[in-house]
A and B are shown apart, each in its own frame.
Chain A
């Protein structure tokens, strides 16, 4: 990935972080921590990797993205707004009665959302199904999914992992947002899901470990995944929960609490940028 692209993505990522803070402050509820940790992953997918068209959200040959950790809906909505699936102003209706932006992704309400998620563990199975359909139809679209590290405690994740390698789904690439935290504390203290790389490998996946905030590394891993034949790829991305907002970084308490007006102002000041 060239320097110009990295710079473009950095700008997009900053804009998306601003949107996340703004929409959460407006809704007064929602999940900042796991949204902010996934900004580089999601922005690389939507602005470098995925073949999608905001003018035709249901295009049959499009690449798919399943946010298996559905509570991070704000990062997905930010990407969709930035990409042009709906006007940015709509973000401020997040979680309000009648909004098309539900607390968790809703494929029937929001253009660009490929799968309804929110119950952890279920998204990755749906992604496996989409990849199976791609093979069946001999299409070359790719399916991407994003999982949480806490989410990997769900047995269903491993049922999906087994199926994906069983069916040799090399058109499926998943990211694991390895931020080390879930709700009740650090993942290793609540219910230790590690070692994660070895587990995914043992389930037949190609595993790549990267820094999840490094665009070059994310892009490099996606290229490798594209070249891997006969098995799915898991990109284990080391991330910082709450990334980009100093008082939210690595704080378990910012999993599911929205910033108040004052905190939002501080966060936006730290993030900088912003279209006036």
Chain B
């Protein structure tokens, strides 16, 4: 199976977008080789701006470019994009609803060896809390391509969360991505897993395992965390009666929180959140860390069994 990182897919799509739309400009902060904006920089040097190691200014300049009619894609690691420059994103991008696309790479613990200082486990939470902000967490290269294109077409600020690690492509080329739409990838009536990013493939794996035990589990790709597709989420939850969220992110404020918020108001059912349990990451190889923190197909399956039991035991 071909494996490709979502950051790589982002870099490739940016180049194509650059050809199609002269208004697209790209900014980086001394990480263009890692974020893959270097491909765009090479092709369109006059439309690429390196801010140097200065993330606050990266976001401020992007806001200015957008205010003057450009469509800036601003890239750096997720920790710095959403953490270091949070208030610039808030007050210069989200508040004036400027057309900036914050495309952040190296999200989550699959950053691996660089360790906890570089592993953002809170970026979705931060970005989701901002009014006007759209938040997308693509699961693979196919979805990244479509999400980046949708972000370019959308008027307003978008946060796109990308990863460092090479991942299998799990979605078909003709996968239909729509901003704000959750997609049911697998039907199931016993329980449902809402997942995105790296956890989507693991959720599908878990559903396979659970089916062998007779627990039919739906899997829903919730790549747009905001605006959340509340209608689909509530409908699936109503049918399944027991749900699990799965994300490579803190369970506080991310996908799990978004789903819980939607369900508690619309359709409360037994729920568990799989994610980082209010902890920072650490150095290690990516899959070892995923194992250590329970971000595995087995971890999802165990959570499904628990919610399924809660549902059937009333």
Contact = CB atoms under 8 A, between A and B. Distances in A.
Most buried by A among B31, B33, B79, B115: B115
A13 B41 CA distance: 39
B130 to A, nearest CB: 21
Nearest to A255: B33
B54 A102 contact: no
Interface stretch (B166-174, B218-226, B277-285, B302-310): B277-285
Contacts of B83: 119
A96 B283 contact: yes
B257 interface: no
A153 B283 contact: no
A112 interface: no
Contacts of B116: 102, 106
Contacts of A102: 115-117, 282-283
A98 B291 CA distance: 13
Interface stretch (A168-176, A182-190, A204-212, A265-273): A182-190
Contact of B80 (A99, A119, A155, A190): A119
Contacts of A119: 79-80, 83-84, 117
A97 B52 contact: no
Given A97-B292, A184-B32, A191-B30, A154 B54 contact: yes
Chain A binding surface SS class: loop
A120 B53 contact: yes
Nearest to B289: A97
A99 to B, nearest CB: 6
A106 B31 CA distance: 23
Contacts of A153: 30, 52-54
Nearest to A104: B117
Contacts of B113: 27, 29-30, 95, 103
Most buried by B among A98, A150, A153: A153
A103 B283 contact: yes
B53 A99 contact: no
Contacts, number: 93
B104 to A, nearest CB: 14
A89 B52 CA distance: 37
B114 interface: yes
Contacts of A116: 117
B51 interface: yes
B181 interface: no
B264 to A, nearest CB: 35
A151 B53 contact: yes
Interface in A72-87: none
A247 B284 CA distance: 28
A226 interface: no
A223 B32 CA distance: 40
Contacts of A104: 114-115, 117-118
B270 to A, nearest CB: 33
A116 B118 CA distance: 12
Nearest to B288: A97
A118 B117 contact: yes
Contact of B118 (A30, A103, A151, A191): A103
24 contacts: A95-B283, A97-B284, A98-B282, A102-B115, A102-B116, A102-B117, A102-B282, A103-B115, A103-B283, A104-B115, A104-B118, A106-B115, A106-B116, A118-B118, A119-B83, A153-B54, A183-B30, A184-B30, A184-B32, A184-B33, A184-B38, A190-B30, A191-B54, A193-B52
The 8 closest A-B pairs by CB, nearest first: A191-B52, A97-B284, A118-B117, A103-B115, A153-B52, A95-B113, A102-B115, A103-B114
